[in-house]
Amino acid sequence: MQELDTAGLGSIRVTRKDDHTVVIEKDLATEQMVLAMGPQHPSTHGVLKLECLTDGEVITQAEPFLGYLHRCFEKCCENVDYPAIVPYTDRLDYLSGMNSEFAYALAVEKLLDIEIPRRVEFIRVIVAELNRIASHLVAIGTYGIDLGAFTPFLFCFRDREIILGLLEWVSGARMLYNYIWIGGLAYDIPSDFLKRVGEFIAYFRPKTVELCNLLTKNEIFVKRTIGIGIMPAEVAINYGWSGPMLRGSGVKWDLRRNDPYSVYPELDFNVPVPDGKLSIVGDCLSRHLVRALEMEESLKIIEQCISKMPATEGFNPRSAIPKRIRPKAGEVYARAENPRGELGFYILSDGKSTKPLRCKARSSCFVNLSAMKDLSKGQLLPDLVAIIGSIDIVLGEVDR
C-alpha cells in the first residue's frame, strides 16, 4: 500500500491498493487548476491539445482539442478523380499507408463491382500485414518511451526499418506508398521479394519474444499500465471503438473475421483478446497486449499468403484497372481493419462524374479518441500519458 499526499496541501489522499484499485479521499474542496497539455507535447504523439481540469494531481476533466493538422481531406476528394485520391489516403494514417489505400480501394471496387486478380489480393494482404507490424512496432516503441522505457523503442525501430526497406523495394517510397490502386497495384512485386519476406519472418519471430520479455513482462511497465484507464466492453461499443482498443476490452471483433474482405476468409489466424490473467480486461495493459500478440498473427497470415499465392510469369498487376473510373450512381460504405481499428470510406457517386460527390473517411483514431473525456476522469495526471499512449493515435488520421 502506498500513500501519496499530493501537492502537499493535505487536500487529497490517493491510495493505491495491492489489487490495483485507486482510492481517492477528499478532505477539502480545493481550487481547481487548468493545465494545458500540448499541442506541442512529446507524449501526445502529434499536435493534440488536452485541456485538463485538475484537482491536485487528480484529473476531473480532460478535454481534447483537435484540428491542428486538418488538411481538408474530404474537400480535396471532391475535387480530384477517383485514382488521384489514393495518395491522399496515405497521408491520413501515415504509419500504415498500405492499409488506408487498401480500405479506399475496397470501397471504390465495391462501387464499381469489379473482379480483382487473385495474385493482386495476396500481394495486397502481404503488404498490408507488413505495414500492420510496422505500425504496431511504432505504437509499442513509443508507448515504452511515454512510460520511461527507452530501449524497446530502439529495438522496435530497428525492426521496423527492415519492413520499410521491403515496402520501399516494392513501391519506391518508405511511408507514403501510392501502391494499392483501384482495381490493381502500381507494380508487381520484385522477383526475390517473397524470399526476403520469408527471411524477415524467420528473423522477426524471436524478436517478438525478446520484445515481450523486455517490455510486456517488465514490472515497471506493468505497474504503470495495469488497472489504468479501464473501459468496459459495453461502453466501448457505444463509443464506437474498434480494432485493438475494442479487443482490449474483451470483445472478439475483427473486421478481417467478422466482415471479411479480400482473401482473409481463406486464411487461418487468431483474434487475440485479453483473458484477464496478465491484465485487467479493458485497461491500458490489455490494449498493449493485443497489439503485441497481433504481430505474431500477422506473421502467420503473411506465411500463408506466400505459400498460397499463385505464381504467374509476366503478371500484369494493372490488368483489371478500368480505363476510366466512373462508378454508376450509388453510394457505398466499405471498411477495413487498420492497425488502429475500423477505417471506413463512405463514397457517393452521381454516375456522371469521375470525381466523387462526397467522400468521407471514418477515422478509427478520431472515434477512439472521443472517449478520452470519460477515460481520463478521476485518473492521476501521470496516468494520462499512459492512457493517450494506449489509444495509439495518429493525428494525421484524427484531423484528416
Partner 1 sequence: MEEGKVFSQSVQQSAAAYAIIHEKFGSAVSAFDANETMPFFEVLDARLWRDIALFMRDHAKLKFNYMACLTGMDYQAEEKLGIVCNLESLSLFNHRLAVKVKCERDGGFIPSVACVWHTANWHEREAYDMFGILFTGHPDFRRILCPDDWEGFPLRKDYKVQESYHGIKVPY
Q: Which stretches of the chain bind partner 1, using CB under 8 A?
A: 66-67, 70, 72, 74-75, 78, 110-111, 113, 235, 237-240, 251-253, 258, 330-333, 335, 342, 344, 346, 348, 358, 360, 362, 366-367, 370-371, 374, 399-400
CA–CA gap between residue 396 and residue 298 (Å, rounded) = 24
Based on CB atoms, which residue is closest to partner 1, 109 or 146?
109
Based on CB atoms, which residue is closest to partner 1, 152 or 274?
274
Q: In what order do the strands lie in the sheet with 358-362?
A: 330-338, 341-349, 358-362
Per the listing, cell 515497471 goes with 220
Taking the complex as a whole, the smallest distance from the CB of residue 361 to partner 1 amounts, in Å, to 9
Based on CB atoms, which residue is closest to partner 1, 175 or 233?
233
Taking the complex as a whole, the smallest distance from the CB of residue 66 to partner 1 amounts, in Å, to 7
Based on CB atoms, which residue is closest to partner 1, 225 or 249?
249
Taking the complex as a whole, the smallest distance from the CB of residue 318 to partner 1 amounts, in Å, to 24
Taking the complex as a whole, the smallest distance from the CB of residue 110 to partner 1 amounts, in Å, to 6
Taking the complex as a whole, the smallest distance from the CB of residue 334 to partner 1 amounts, in Å, to 8
Based on CB atoms, which residue is closest to partner 1, 22 or 69?
69
Taking the complex as a whole, the smallest distance from the CB of residue 34 to partner 1 amounts, in Å, to 17
Say if residue 274 is exposed, middle or buried (CB neighbours under 10 Å; 0-12, 13-18, 19+).
Answer: buried
CA–CA gap between residue 273 and residue 62 (Å, rounded) = 28
Based on CB atoms, which residue is closest to partner 1, 195 or 252?
252
CA–CA gap between residue 339 and residue 99 (Å, rounded) = 8
Taking the complex as a whole, the smallest distance from the CB of residue 153 to partner 1 amounts, in Å, to 30
Taking the complex as a whole, the smallest distance from the CB of residue 320 to partner 1 amounts, in Å, to 19
Helix (H) or strand (E) holding 5: strand 2-5
Per residue, the 3-state secondary structure of 33-57, as one string, reads EEEEECCEEHHHCEECEEEEEEECC
Instruction: Answer for the pair 355, 78: CB distance below 8 angstroms, yes or no.
Output: yes
Taking the complex as a whole, the smallest distance from the CB of residue 149 to partner 1 amounts, in Å, to 32
Cis amide linkage into residue 244, ω under 30° from 0:
no
- Scored b (16 or more CB within 10 A) or e, 301-329 reads bbbbbbeebeeeeeeebeebbbeebbbee
φ/ψ bin of 356: left (φ > 0), alpha (ψ from -120 to 50), beta (otherwise): beta
Taking the complex as a whole, the smallest distance from the CB of residue 354 to partner 1 amounts, in Å, to 17
Based on CB atoms, which residue is closest to partner 1, 125 or 251?
251
Instruction: Answer for the pair 36, 50: CB distance below 8 angstroms, yes or no.
Output: yes
Based on CB atoms, which residue is closest to partner 1, 109 or 159?
109
CA–CA gap between residue 259 and residue 290 (Å, rounded) = 20
Based on CB atoms, which residue is closest to partner 1, 120 or 255?
255
Helix (H, G, I), strand (E, B) or coil at 174: coil
Per the listing, cell 485541456 goes with 51
Based on CB atoms, which residue is closest to partner 1, 159 or 399?
399
CA–CA gap between residue 98 and residue 135 (Å, rounded) = 11
Taking the complex as a whole, the smallest distance from the CB of residue 116 to partner 1 amounts, in Å, to 16
Instruction: Answer for the pair 138, 156: CB distance below 8 angstroms, yes or no.
Output: yes
| CA-wise closest residue to 152 among 224, 213, 226 | 213
Based on CB atoms, which residue is closest to partner 1, 42 or 330?
330
